[in-house]
Structure 1
Amino acid sequence: MHSSGRRRLAALTLAPALLGLAACGNESALEPVRNVTAGPAGLNPSAGPSATTEPASGGEDGCADDGGQVPSGAGAAEVGDLDGDGAPDELWMVQDGGQKRLGVRTASGKVMSTAYESTEPASAVANRLGDGTAIILLNTGRSAALYSVLDCQIVATENQTGEQYSFDLGFGQFGTGVACPLSPADDTLYLAGYKATDSGRDGYENIVRTRIDLSEGGSRADNGTVAELGEYSSSSASAKIAHAVSCGDSGTVEEPA
C-alpha cells in the first residue's frame, strides 16, 4: 500500500457472516510478510509481534461530551464502539467551507474530526478491534488511509518511516483491499490487508491476507504475518472482501456530494 493516488472506488459494505468467511483460509501457511499485501513500498516486515495495545479511548464512560456539533449536511453511519463505553458510535463526513472533514460523534456526545484530501468522493468505515484499538479506514479510491481514535482524538496511524499507513486498492503492487476478519483464536476482529491475483484458471483468484500489527494505541502500524488463503471464485464472498474496504459490522459513511 502507498499514500499516493486518491480517486473514487465504491466501498462494499459486507455483513459479519461474510467477513467470517475470509478468516477460513489456510491458516497454517504463515510466514513473515515481505511487502506482499500491505504497507508502503520498500518497508520491511515488523521484527515480531507488536506490544499489546492499550484501549485507545475515553474508558468505560467514553469520551466526555464537549458540546461539539456535527456540521450541517454531514453524511453519517453507525459504526463500532470507538471510545470504549460499549455503545456504538457515529462516523460522519462533510464538506465544510471548502474543506473535507472526517469525524466521529460518540454515544456520550463527544465530537471529533480531522481534515482530509481526495479528488473524488470518499467513504469510510470504523470499528474496535480485539486488542482494544479503535480504527477508521478512509477509502479515497486508489487507497485506504488508516486512522485510530486515541485519547478522544482522530490520529493518523503511521508506518515505520513516519508516513500515514495506507492500503492499496488494486492500483498498486501491494494489495487490493482491507478488512477486519475474525481471529480463530478468540473470535475477535483484527486488521488485515488483502491481495487477490489471477490464479491462471478462468474466473478464479489466489488470495493472500496480511495481518497488520498495531501498537502505541493504534498510532503505529507494521506488517505482521501473511497467510495464503488459496484459490477462490471471483464471485465468492472471500473475493469480494479482498477487493473492498470493510471492518466487521461497521456501516459505511459516504462523503456528501
Structure 2
Amino acid sequence: MTHLLLSGIFIYPVKSLAGISANSWPVTGKGFQHDRKWMIIDNDRQFLSQRKLPKMALIKTALTDKNLILSAPGMENLSLPIEPVDGHIINSTIWHDQCDARSVSTEADQWLSDFLRQDCRLIYQPDEVIRPVDPDYAKSTDKVAFSDGFPFLIISENSLTALNHDMQLNLPMARFRPNLVISGCPAYAEDSWREITIDSIDFRLPKPCSRCAIPTIDPETAQTGKEPLTTLNRTRKWQNQVYFGQNALHDQCGQLTVGDAVHIKLTGVKQPPI
C-alpha cells in the first residue's frame, strides 16, 4: 500500500517575494504562521506582484524569532521586527478585496522602492484583521492573510514530475509556490481530493488553482519564458484557464512537519475535469 507523506513545507512571508522552505511550521487560523503577513503596494494602494514586477522574485526572505529579513542583489540586508510596532492604517486592495493593513516603516518603503525602481510601500496585516475567504468556496469562519484567495496551495511531487516530462524540462517546485507538497501519490491525484488530513489537521480542497504568468519567471534570475504555460495550455486547460495544484482550507490549528502522514478522507470529480 502506498503511503502518502507531507514532503515539503513552504512559507512566503511577503506576498510575491521568495519563499522559505521549512521542516516544521505552526498553522494558525489564517494558514501557516507569518505566511503572506506582509504585502507590497503601489501609490494607489494596489498590491504588487511578480506579474507586474518580475524583479520581486529576487528579494529573498528569512525569519528569525524576532525579525523578518529581506535581502536582494546589491542591497544591504533589511531587518524588520516580526511583530511590527503599529503603523498607521492603510486600506489596501488585493484583487477584489479591500483590506485594512498597517504601514511598516519608511525605511522599508525606501529599501523596496530603491530595489524595484518603483514607488511602493510595505504593509502588514495585524492578527485582529479578518479577511474572509470567498463564501462560494468556504465557511463563514474561514480567513486568510494576503494570499490570492486561500490559505494553502497543495501540489503533489508526481504532478510536477509529469509536467516536467511533458515539457522536457526540469523546473523546480519553487516556480509554482505551493505551501504543501505531497509525495507517494500518482500525478494529479490531488485533482480528485476533496478532504484530506495531514497529521491531525483536516483540509478541504474546494477549488483548483488557476495559474497566471508567475510560474514562467525564473526565481533565480527573474527572467521570463514561455513554460510552463505553453504546456499547461495544451494539457491542463479548462474553461479558458489552466490549472496546476489545488487550493485548500484548514479546520484546525496545530503544527505540520515534513514526514507527516497524509490521509485521503473524501474524493470527488476531478478538478479540472480533464
Q: TM-score, normalised by structure 2?
A: 0.28
The structure whose RCO (Cα within 8 Å, separation 6+) is larger is 1
Higher helix share: 2
